[in-house]
Amino acid sequence: MDPILFIVFLPLLAAVVGGLGNRHLGNVAVKSLTTGALFVACALSWPIFLGFLGGTAEAHVVPVLHWVQSGTLAFDWALRVDTLTAVMLVVITTVSALVHLYSWGYMEEDPDQPRFFAYLSLFTFAMLMLVTADNLVQMFFGWEGVGLASYLLIGFWFKKPSANAAAIKAFVVNRVGDLGFMLGIFGTFLVFGTVSIPAILEAAPSMAGTTIGFLGARFDTMTVLCILLFIGAMGKSAQLGLHTWLPDAMEGPTPVSALIHAATMVTAGVFMVCRLSPMFETSPTALGFVTFIGAATCFFAATVGTTQWDIKRVIAYSTCSQLGYMFFAAGVGAYGAAMFHLFTHAFFKALLFLGAGSVIHAMHHEQDMRFYGALRKEIPLTFWAMTAGTLAITGVGIAGTLGFAGFYSKDAILEAAFGSGKELGMFAFWAGITAALMTSFYSWRLVFLTFFGKPRWAGSEHIQHAVHDAHGADAHDHGHSDHGHEGNGHATEGTAGYHPHESPLSMLVPLGILALGAVFAGFLFHHEFISEGAGEFWKGSLVFSEHLIHAMHEVPTWVKWAPFTVMAIGLLTAWYAYLRNPGFPAKFVEQFGVLHKFVFNKWYFDELYNFLFVRPAFWIGRQFWKIGDIGIIDRFGPNGAAWVVARGSSYAQKVQSGYLYSYALVMLLGLVGAISWVMAG
């Protein structure tokens, strides 16, 4: 039996048994079952990946069952295994297995652990279904599956109104993107007459230059299809315009954040674009759209990340920004570089989120960085793990020598954007370089605020003084970012007099393994993913341009050194602002108050959408409720029928006198009336 069947269905089996068994099986049994299933899936995934890496494995399809036969629409449930799938398998199963293990310690005090672990496994199964899809309908099944699982996990603590609101927001925003994805699938079937991915990709070049009717006009066929499909990716991968759900997803437990941001839901859009890369290659307009949205998202999210105080929200906006890098890499044709960054990003982003969870655990569920400080001596293992993740995400490394994971993948994307020779490629390059500067700043800002300086958790007076001193008066103006979303109320109540402590071994082991990936993944695998001979590795699973790879290697020297330069500038700026001269941030905010407020409030996207969509939707809902439901349906429906019955019964009561002669008179009148009607007829 092909191992891919075990990889995909073991998490599903664990989710079903653990979810239905729940408290009857007990915490330990469910946790052991789900975690064990994921580690087995992970152990089976790595040999498949290494087989493609070594050139010994071949792409193949494993049939599961006959699924749909309706007219000309026919497809089976089948699992495709190729290089692109193999990369996603190791990313998903590795991170998910470690998140399961980490959750043993993090969720130890939660009374609903079986349900949580069942949801995690269900999430993993849905993502595995997505990446092994051999047709668009199966991909959509996995696509919606991760949407459902994210809704369940973000709102896991359903007694918190904010968690429920965040879950609904994620679900609704993704429905907007999924509408575009559905229309793209419908249009693709209309044009190609099939939903089979291999058949579509083979026929795609023949449709270049044709037109299709859409919204009452004629447009280029492939441009329409690709943009509609990409709108789905914008929702799932939180690109600018459909990004607003991602920061609020922090309402879920921290392990959920790591799984969503590093290995599952948000990477689905990048995978889909790379899987369908032969389609996108037929439309320069669609590729330009992908490039622009990716570059704009990369810049936007990085700006917001520089101002946030909640440790998880900083990392969340970092995810949004890094996804922008992946998309504009795909937009300029560097699909291999996009997937390489997805691969390395999974390690260091999972590491950063789980490291943040370890900090939150140590600080009694406090998430506001203004109430941290000097933690490197209290939780040294967490400190070194997060430092490794920070070195990776900021791209520390020296061209031509060695570097951390992000150094190889992010630098390759920037070189590809510059080497593409396209105008939008240059726009993406400069947006990416600027975002790299801000990434370095907010990443080291997080490290310095959390692990260095004076402790701001020893007592309320010291906290208030230190916060005002180190971070400026705006610290109090904006209040707490999340007010202790993980269960704590006010920061000073949760941390005053509380001594930080290192996390248990079940949380530290995943951090150590992910730290190894953050340090070595780029160095070990960059040759296979993005070298001039990497086409042999990808084996046609995505479009691989040897010409673009050559152009990347031929970019000017200053382009190669630009990422390192801006990384150093961001590091030095953060060091100066938060260690050397702690009063500087307050002066900056005072000088540029309007700009800071604009960025801190996330460019007012939430307020804009609330004005344009939410409030009108509620107004329309109220009109339907008060006028349509109460005023018309209830009035002329149940309420109207009840009124008729009540009035009729009042008249009937007058007839029912109880006297025999009254009934005889009525019967006589009825008889006379009937005889008269017959005689008249």
Average confidence (pLDDT) over 244-273: 88
Say what the pLDDT of residue 160 is: 87
- DSSP-H helix ranges across 531-583: 535-538, 546-553, 557-575
Residue partners of 193: CB distance under 8 A and separation at least 6 = 72
Tell me phi and psi for residue 283, to 5 degrees. -130, 95
Q: Does residue 409 contact residue 526 with C-beta atoms inside 8 Å?
A: yes
Q: What is the pLDDT of residues 327-357, one digit of tens each?
A: 999 999 999 999 999 999 999 999 999 999 9
Say what the pLDDT of residue 127 is: 95
Cα torsion 445, 446, 449, 453: sign? negative
DSSP 371: G
For residue 135, the cross-strand partners are 196
Q: What is the pLDDT of residues 455-491, one digit of tens each?
A: 887 643 444 444 444 444 343 333 333 333 344 434 4
Secondary-structure percent of the chain, ordered helix, strand, coil, rounded to 5: 75, 5, 20
- DSSP-H helix ranges across 394-504: 405-419, 423-451, 460-471, 474-478, 491-495
Asked if the model's pLDDT at residue 548 lies above 70, the reply is yes
Asked if the model's pLDDT at residue 275 lies above 70, the reply is yes
- What is the pLDDT confidence band of residue 14, given thresholds at 50, 70 and 90? very high
Which residue, among 622, 598, 595, 594, has the nearest Cα to 608 in the 3D structure? 598
Lowest mean per-residue pLDDT among 188-202, 372-386, 606-620? 606-620
Using CA atoms, how far apart are residues 66 and 63, in angstroms rounded to an integer? 8
Using CA atoms, how far apart are residues 387 and 474, in angstroms rounded to an integer? 27
Say what the pLDDT of residue 484 is: 37
Residue with tokens 């999430």: 123
Using CA atoms, how far apart are residues 675 and 669, in angstroms rounded to an integer? 10
Task: With residue 76 as reference, give the H or E element that holds it.
Answer: strand 73-81
Residue partners of 550: CB distance under 8 A and separation at least 6 = 532
Task: With residue 61 as reference, give the H or E element that holds it.
Answer: strand 60-70
Residue partners of 113: CB distance under 8 A and separation at least 6 = 27, 30, 31, 107
DSSP 634: I
Pairing, β 60-70 against β 73-81: antiparallel
Q: What is the pLDDT of residues 184-223, one digit of tens each?
A: 999 999 999 999 999 999 999 999 888 888 888 889 999 9
Using CA atoms, how far apart are residues 455 and 470, in angstroms rounded to an integer? 11
The two structure tokens encoding residue 488: 């704590």
Q: What is the pLDDT of residues 492-530, one digit of tens each?
A: 444 445 678 888 999 999 999 999 999 999 999 998 899
Say what the pLDDT of residue 486 is: 47
Asked if the model's pLDDT at residue 658 lies above 80, the reply is no
Q: What is the pLDDT of residues 44-82, one digit of tens each?
A: 999 999 999 988 889 999 999 988 888 888 888 999 999
Using CA atoms, how far apart are residues 531 and 533, in angstroms rounded to an integer? 5
Asked if the model's pLDDT at residue 609 lies above 90, the reply is no
The two structure tokens encoding residue 244: 């607003």
For residue 403, the cross-strand partners are 397
Say what the pLDDT of residue 479 is: 35
Average confidence (pLDDT) over 401-407: 88
Say what the pLDDT of residue 681 is: 66
Average confidence (pLDDT) over 105-115: 89
Using CA atoms, how far apart are residues 333 and 448, in angstroms rounded to an integer? 37
DSSP 156: S
SS3 per-residue string spanning 575-589: HHHHHHCCCHHHHHH
Using CA atoms, how far apart are residues 317 and 315, in angstroms rounded to an integer? 6
Question: What b/e readout covers 229-264, taking b as 16+ CB neighbours within 10 angstroms?
Answer: bbbbbbbbbbbbbbbbbbbbbbbbbbbbbbbbbbbb
Using CA atoms, how far apart are residues 493 and 113, in angstroms rounded to an integer? 27
Lowest mean per-residue pLDDT among 183-187, 316-320, 365-369? 365-369
Say what the pLDDT of residue 498 is: 62
Using CA atoms, how far apart are residues 204 and 480, in angstroms rounded to an integer? 51
Say what the pLDDT of residue 625 is: 83
Using CA atoms, how far apart are residues 611 and 622, in angstroms rounded to an integer? 16
Average confidence (pLDDT) over 613-638: 83
Residue 268 CB-half CA count within 13 A:
37
Q: Which amino acid is present at 637?
A: G
Helix 27-54 to helix 113-131 angle (10° resolution) is: 20
Q: Which amino acid is present at 449?
A: L
Say what the pLDDT of residue 476 is: 36
Using CA atoms, how far apart are residues 135 and 77, in angstroms rounded to an integer? 8
Average confidence (pLDDT) over 294-301: 95
Pairing, β 60-70 against β 211-214: unpaired
Residue partners of 658: CB distance under 8 A and separation at least 6 = none
Task: With residue 300 as reference, give the H or E element that holds it.
Answer: helix 284-305
DSSP 655: H
Asked if the model's pLDDT at residue 449 lies above 90, the reply is yes
- Collapsing DSSP to helix, strand or coil, 226 comes out as helix
- Collapsing DSSP to helix, strand or coil, 40 comes out as helix
- Collapsing DSSP to helix, strand or coil, 625 comes out as helix
**How large a percentage of the chain has pLDDT more than 70?**
93
Q: Does residue 238 contact residue 248 with C-beta atoms inside 8 Å?
A: no
Mean pLDDT of the chain: 88
Say what the pLDDT of residue 598 is: 94
Q: Does residue 244 contact residue 169 with C-beta atoms inside 8 Å?
A: yes
Asked if the model's pLDDT at residue 413 lies above 90, the reply is yes
Say what the pLDDT of residue 281 is: 94
Q: Does residue 517 contact residue 405 with C-beta atoms inside 8 Å?
A: yes
